[in-house]
């Protein structure tokens, strides 16, 4: 299945060819979960504080679905 | 420490002893208390009976990290209720080190005269300086620093404040003299203008030597607090690396970024105007991705962004980047920087100014996303043209002038950078805050989006009232300490945080407060503000969001704001 992925606030540095904040498309095994996605991207799990799927926080253990929009963030804040 | 009272009717300055009931108050607790005690809630905000009060926080001017916040209080010309606007920069540290607990400005001089107040540890003086009239804040700071010293703190107003426009802010400056640190919200620049004060110059021998009862104990607590801040991932790493504008992308991803005047929750070009891009461009052009608004801030959330012509806008904060950006569908950081700079110079609050530009676009005065036209329209404010005065009076006034019903304001004040349908906790704060739509008053984005201090699902109505209530109480306390509100990330996650803040207060003032006792300062402050607003004519009906949030759904989540009115009415049950 294909996913639409974005990595923010410095996390792009783990992903070959990724541009900060810009989306890229990624083919993964059907039914993959967040852990598997991070593993295939080489992003260390401990650096990911917010894992967003279609605009909602989602547990890394939960399965992903075709066409999901994924956002990966470290711990951030502001206001 | 002394209280300085400046009577602008008699042009008379008095030094007063600090009354017993104010001794252990500072910042917002003190300015709101003085306004509640001394100002008639029904007075005209730009008339002679309103007062403008400045106070450093309880810890300001000491070695406590990130403690240099200034509180400015008054009756707001924008909301008609009480107002506490809080600013960074160096003026709170200077005031505390000049021995000033609070400055109260009252009365009104003969029209057309402009004065500069100077304060230092030896006393105060007032001079008529009409030649500064009409000048922008950057030039005022330069002129006054040339005369009084390059390290002085300058508080000033721009032409917007002189014209007494309801979106005029009070400007303060950073170490470098950028007049960009604003007590922006609620039109307090118009009150300063009504008092005939163009600027206040503050000098002091030090930034960090305000009186402390038990210095050794204080230093230990301050050291511990520094490591609590630097040890938290948000205040220790995130804020210094990308600044507050790192929020642009996460709020857009979460579907809560108000785009095109609150018509959708994601902006396709969020990344082009977000913190990552800002940091990269700033550094490329020789600017700074991280900067402290006052000496001793360890979180350094600010930046300095050189514009293409070499002029520097320092900083561009998230809220400003949003209001002048996605809210207007503007996707060019250089335009955002330029608009931000105009706001700083003319003397406007950026959130309200951007909010208003979006309303002007909704009205069809200028096209959506047209940066050049937005610059031209905003420049009208400084010229004082009829159109400029409309824009300078804020979003509600502009909406009325042009027949726009969709204006995202509460109690007359425009919303900041989070849509209350995509993050419902912040909607509760917008609706109920004593300040009008204000994110800082109870920053529910922490638990709704950032997962700091727990998690409350942003799209559900459950749990939002309690979240907002607790944050509003804690915030009223933090705003009274002089600590920057961004310490809240660490306070919410680290159980040692709040006790260490209380320990610093105890060591400085020789008190024996516990955490509950300190939170009472927050509760008392909210009660005083609510009471003032009730006397000014505010009712439950004012604690509501504009009605379109109840029936217009927000893409991508398709939510409306559905926290029931009866629940909103329980926020202040404590
Ligand atoms: S965190 Fe930012 S706004 Fe707060 S005191 Fe530091 S530089 Fe100023």
In this prediction, residue B564 carries a pLDDT of 98
A22 in contact with B at a CB cutoff of 8 Å? yes
| CA distances from residue B11 to A76, B43, B127, B154 in whole angstroms, order as listed | 49, 21, 10, 20
Number of domains into which chain A is organized: 1
Bridge-based pairing state of the strands B170-172 and B181-183: antiparallel
What does each C-alpha distance from B41 to B72, B255, B422, B536 come to in angstroms?
A: 17, 39, 35, 5
Cβ count near A51 (within 10 Å):
20
Kindly give the confidence (pLDDT) of every residue in chain B, 574 residues in length, as a single tens digit, with 9 standing for 90 and above.
999 999 999 999 999 999 999 999 999 999 999 999 999 999 999 999 999 999 999 999 999 999 999 999 999 999 999 999 999 999 999 999 999 999 999 999 999 999 999 999 999 999 999 999 999 999 999 999 999 999 999 999 999 999 999 999 999 999 999 999 999 999 999 999 999 999 999 999 999 999 999 999 999 999 999 999 999 999 999 899 999 999 999 999 999 999 999 999 999 999 999 999 999 999 999 999 999 999 999 999 999 999 999 999 999 999 999 999 999 999 999 999 999 999 999 999 999 999 999 999 999 999 999 999 999 999 999 999 999 999 999 999 999 999 999 999 999 999 999 999 999 999 999 999 999 999 999 999 999 999 999 999 999 999 999 999 999 999 999 999 999 999 999 999 999 999 999 999 999 999 999 999 999 999 999 999 999 999 999 999 999 999 999 999 999 999 999 999 999 999 999 9
CATH class of this structure's domain B213-242+420-574: mainly alpha
Candidate from B274, B319, B557 with C-beta closest to A21 = B274
The strand ranges marked E within B404-514 are 409-410, 413-414
Position A78 scores a pLDDT of 87
pLDDT attached to residue B195: 98
Residue to substitute in B57, B60, B87, B88 for testing ligand 1 pocket (most ligand atoms within 8 angstroms of CB) = B88
Predicted pLDDT of residue B252: 98
**CA dihedral (B499, B505, B507, B510) positive or negative:** negative
Are B238 and A56 a contacting pair at CB < 8 A?
A: no
Residue A79 lies in a domain: no
CATH number listed for the domain at residues B2-202: 3.60.9.10
- CATH of residue A60: 3.10.20.30
Kindly state if the Cβ of B299 falls inside 6 Å of ligand 1. Answer: yes
Would A37 be classed as within a structural domain?
yes
**Paired tokens of B375:** 């610059």
What is the Cα–Cα distance from B477 to B334, expressed in whole angstroms?
37
Instruction: Identify the burial level of B550 via C-beta atoms within 10 angstroms of its C-beta, where 0-12 means exposed, 13-18 middle and 19 or more buried.
Output: middle
Q: How far is the CA of B87 from the centre of ligand 1 (A)?
A: 9
Say yes or no to pLDDT of A79 above 90.
no
Nearest residue of chain B to residue A22 (CA atoms): B271
Arithmetic mean of pLDDT, A17-23: 93
Ligand 1 atom with the smallest distance to the CA of B301 is 2
Separation between Cα atoms, residue B247 and residue B273, nearest integer Å: 11
Which of B242, B451, B556 shows the shortest C-beta gap to A50? B451
**Ligand 1 atom with the shortest distance to the CA of B89:** 8
pLDDT for B255: 98
Residue A45's pLDDT is what? 97
Give the range of the structural domain holding residue A46, as residue numbers without chain letter: 2-73
- Phi, psi at residue B73, to the nearest 5°? -125, 155
CA of B59 to the centre of ligand 1 (A): 15
Locate the ligand 1 atom nearest the alpha carbon of residue B297 and give its number.
Answer: 6
pLDDT value, residue B43: 98
Q: Which two tokens stand for residue B283?
A: 């550094």
Q: Are B453 and B494 in contact (CB under 8 A)?
A: no
Task: Tell me how far CA of residue A43 lies from CA of A16, A47, B427, B468, B535, in angstroms.
Answer: 10, 7, 34, 34, 56
- Percent of chain A residues past pLDDT 90, beyond the cut: 95
Q: What is the pLDDT of residue A63?
A: 98
Q: Domain residues of chain B, as ranges?
A: 2-202, 213-242+420-574, 256-418
Q: Which of B93, B71, B95 is nearest to B82 (CA)?
A: B71
Q: Do B346 and B158 touch, CB atoms closer than 8 A?
A: yes
Q: Is B102 exposed, middle or buried (0-12, 13-18, 19+ CB in 10 A)?
A: buried
Q: Which two tokens stand for residue B463?
A: 């749990």
Are B169 and B188 spatial neighbours (Cβ–Cβ below 8 Å)? yes
User: Do A8 and B276 make contact, defined as CB atoms within 8 angstroms?
Assistant: yes
What's the rounded Cα separation, in Å, for the pair B42 and B33? 16
Q: Is A31 on the interface with B (CB under 8 A)?
A: no
DSSP for A24-41?
EEEE--TT-BHHHHHHHH
Contacts 24+ apart (CB under 8 A), B402-407: B402/B359, B402/B360, B402/B363, B402/B365, B403/B363, B404/B359, B404/B362, B404/B363, B405/B548, B406/B261, B406/B262, B406/B362, B406/B546, B406/B548, B407/B359, B407/B546
Starting at the edge strand that comes first in sequence, how are the strands of the sheet with B52-56 ordered?
B12-17, B2-7, B100-106, B52-56, B70-75, B82-87
Task: Report if residue A78 sits inside a domain.
Answer: no
Beta bridge partners, B182, equal B171
Host H or E run for residue B200: strand B197-202
The highest-level CATH class for domain B256-418 is mainly alpha
Residue in chain A lying closest to B317 (CA):
A79
């Amino acid at each position: 299945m294909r996913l639409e992925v974005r990595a923010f606030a410095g996390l792009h540095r783990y992903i070959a060819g990724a541009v900060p904040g810009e989306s890229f498309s990624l083919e993964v095994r059907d039914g993959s979960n967040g852990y598997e996605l991070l593993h295939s991207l080489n992003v260390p799990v401990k650096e990911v504080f917010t894992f967003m799927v279609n605009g909602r926080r989602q547990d890394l253990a939960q399965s992903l679905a075709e066409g999901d929009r994924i956002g990966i963030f470290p711990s951030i804040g502001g206001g | 420490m002394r209280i300085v009272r400046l009577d602008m009717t008699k042009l008379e300055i008095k030094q007063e002893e600090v009354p017993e009931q104010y001794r252990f108050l500072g910042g917002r607790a003190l300015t709101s208390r003085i306004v509640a005690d001394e100002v008639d809630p029904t007075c005209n905000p730009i008339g002679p009976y309103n007062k403008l009060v400045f106070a450093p926080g309880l810890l300001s001017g000491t070695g406590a990290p990130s403690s240099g916040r200034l509180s400015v209080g008054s009756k707001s010309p924008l909301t008609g209720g009480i107002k506490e606007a809080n600013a960074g920069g160096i003026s709170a540290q200077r005031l505390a080190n000049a021995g000033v607990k609070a400055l109260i400005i009252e009365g009104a001089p003969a029209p057309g005269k402009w004065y500069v107040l100077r304060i230092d540890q030896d006393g105060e003086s007032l001079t008529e300086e009409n030649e500064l009239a009409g000048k922008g804040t950057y030039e005022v700071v330069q002129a006054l620093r040339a005369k009084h010293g390059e390290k002085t703190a300058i508080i000033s107003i721009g032409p917007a404040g002189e014209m007494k426009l309801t979106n005029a802010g009070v400007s303060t400056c950073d170490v470098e003299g950028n007049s960009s640190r604003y007590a922006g919200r609620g039109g307090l620049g118009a009150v300063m203008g009504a008092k005939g004060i163009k600027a206040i110059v503050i000098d002091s021998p030090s930034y960090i030597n305000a009186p402390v009862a038990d210095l050794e104990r204080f230093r230990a607590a301050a050291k511990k607090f520094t490591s609590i801040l630097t040890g938290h991932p948000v205040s220790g790493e995130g804020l210094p690396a990308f600044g507050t504008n790192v929020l642009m992308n996460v709020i857009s991803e979460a579907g809560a970024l108000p785009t095109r005047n609150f018509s959708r929750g994601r902006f396709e070009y969020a990344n082009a105007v977000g913190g990552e891009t800002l940091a990269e461009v700033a550094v490329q052009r020789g600017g700074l991705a991280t900067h402290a608004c006052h000496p001793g801030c360890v979180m350094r959330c600010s930046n300095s962004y050189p514009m293409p012509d070499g002029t520097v806008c320092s900083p561009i904060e998230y809220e400003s980047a949003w209001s002048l950006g996605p809210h207007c569908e503007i996707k060019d950081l250089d335009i955002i920087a330029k608009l931000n700079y105009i706001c700083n110079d003319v003397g406007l609050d950026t959130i309200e100014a951007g909010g208003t530009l979006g309303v002007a676009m909704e009205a069809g005065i200028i096209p959506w996303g047209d940066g050049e036209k937005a610059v031209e329209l905003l420049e009208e404010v400084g010229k004082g043209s009829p159109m400029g005065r409309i824009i300078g009076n804020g979003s509600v006034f502009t909406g009325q002038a042009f027949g726009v019903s969709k204006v995202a304001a509460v109690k007359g004040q425009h919303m900041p950078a989070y849509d209350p349908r995509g993050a419902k906790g912040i909607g509760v704060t917008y609706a109920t805050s004593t300040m009008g739509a204000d994110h800082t008053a109870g920053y529910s984005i922490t638990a709704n989006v950032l997962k700091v201090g727990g998690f409350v699902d942003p799209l559900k109505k459950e749990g939002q009232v309690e979240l907002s209530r607790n944050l509003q109480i804690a915030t009223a306390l933090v705003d009274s300490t002089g600590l920057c509100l961004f310490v809240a990330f660490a306070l919410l996650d680290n159980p040692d945080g709040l006790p260490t803040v209380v320990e610093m207060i105890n060591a400085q003032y020789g008190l024996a407060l516990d955490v509950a006792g300190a939170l009472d300062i927050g509760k008392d402050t909210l009660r005083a503000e609510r009471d003032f607003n009730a006397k000014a004519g505010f009712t439950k009906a004012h604690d509501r969001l504009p009605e379109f949030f109840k029936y217009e759904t927000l893409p991508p989540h398709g939510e409306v704001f559905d926290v029931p009115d009866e629940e909103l009415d329980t926020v202040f049950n404590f």
